[in-house]
Amino acid sequence: MSRIAELRKFLREAPWHLWTAQVAAVLRIELGRNLRHRRAIWLYLLSAGPVLLIAAYSLKCPLGGNCNLERDTELFGVIFQFLYLRLVIFFGCMGLFTWLFRGEIVQKSLHYYFLAPVRRQVLVVGKFLSGLATAGIVFGVSVFLSFGFMYGHFGSQGISYVLHGPGLGQLAGYLGVTLLAGLGYGAIFVTLSLFIKNPIIPGVFVLLWETFHPVFPAFLQKLSVMFYLQQLCPVPVPPDGAMALFTVIVEPVPAWIAVPGLLCLSLAMLVIACLKIQRMEISYLAD
């Protein structure tokens, strides 16, 4: 029997209902731990930073004041790309997703999962989805509140912009990009956590790659999560300053290519994680 035929037989006879139920069980357990554990406090504080910053800005201009709606729309786009994507969501995902497995090893509890009648690949998917749901909830609420403060201080003008103008579509775009950022960065960090004990060094490398990817050739830029996220942001932010001098201009990618491209990149990382965990042996001695 050929390998293709064997694969078709496996897919046809695989216990999908059992695996789905197990993924849901792991997701439910891990999501509760992610949101209620003491380590979640730093995640809440990190996501609250931009909200407090924009809230303070809105208090300086009650009912619009000397602010301009168009300028503030561009300002929120800059805050989202540089503060949210490059700092808040990036470092939040690095801490959250690397702890999914490293935390179990540090707490000497990963062997309980390995002794359970659950495939290790199912465990990877369940834990990853729990991290993605946590990131989506925490950072999504943060983006929603920041967006509300940014346009709420304009009063009726801001409400009209959101409800009867492009504001609602922009909010949906920002929330969608937030979820995709959690998907991309989460897949990278959960995979790295299975290979490297200390996430700081690979985290710095990924941060540098994501920050300076515009200076790389076009085909290397497409290996960056930020490349796709920037294409999907509802308010584009052109490169400025010294970075603009070295930026390699790449033809814009439409959403119907950017989203599948990011999904493929994330799926490839998860496949690597599933292959790694199959051969993983637990040793608490060095941790």
Q: How far apart are the C-alpha atoms of 188 and 70, rounded to whole Å?
A: 36
Nearest alpha-carbon partner for 180 in 89, 58, 63: 89
Place of tokens 């006879």: 13
pLDDT the model gives residue 241: 54
pLDDT the model gives residue 45: 95
- What's the burial of 40, exposed, middle or buried (CB within 10 Å: 0-12/13-18/19+)? middle
**2 pLDDT tier (thresholds 50, 70, 90):** low
Q: Which residues of 188-216 are buried (b: 16+ CB within 10 A; e: fewer)?
A: bbbbbbbeeeebeebbeebeebbeebbeb
Whether the CB-CB separation of 63 and 104 falls below 8 Å is answered with no
Q: How far apart are the C-alpha atoms of 283 and 212, rounded to whole Å?
A: 37
**Residue 264 above 60 pLDDT?**
yes
Place of tokens 């937030």: 178
Q: Please, what is the angle between helix 90-106 and helix 120-152, to 10°? A: 150
Give the lowest-confidence range in 112-121, 134-143, 195-204: 195-204
Place of tokens 């775009």: 173
pLDDT the model gives residue 285: 60
Q: How far apart are the C-alpha atoms of 45 and 83, rounded to whole Å?
A: 14
* Residue 39 to residues 34, 42, 95, 103, 152, Cα–Cα distance (Å): 8, 6, 9, 10, 32
Q: Does the model's pTM come out above 0.85?
A: yes
Q: How far apart are the C-alpha atoms of 141 and 51, rounded to whole Å?
A: 10
pLDDT the model gives residue 77: 92
**Residue 9 above 80 pLDDT?**
no
Neighbours of 149 (CB within 10 A): 21
**Tokens linked to 164:** 């009867």
| Mean pLDDT, rounded, for 140-158 | 90
Nearest alpha-carbon partner for 243 in 92, 79, 82: 82
Tell me the pLDDT tens digit for each residue of 22-81.
999 999 999 999 998 888 899 999 999 999 999 988 887 766 566 788 888 999 999 999
**137 pLDDT tier (thresholds 50, 70, 90):** very high
Tell me the pLDDT tens digit for each residue of 168-197.
999 999 999 999 999 999 999 999 988 887
Question: What is the DSSP annotation of 258-276?
Answer: HHHHHHHHHHHHHHHHHHH
* Residue 17 to residues 20, 21, 23, 27, 54, Cα–Cα distance (Å): 5, 6, 10, 15, 46
Tell me the pLDDT tens digit for each residue of 100-125.
998 888 888 888 888 888 889 999 99
Nearest alpha-carbon partner for 206 in 224, 193, 228, 232: 224
pLDDT the model gives residue 6: 63
Question: What amino acid is encoded at 112 in this protein?
Answer: Y
Tell me the pLDDT tens digit for each residue of 64-104.
566 788 888 999 999 999 999 999 999 999 999 999 998 88
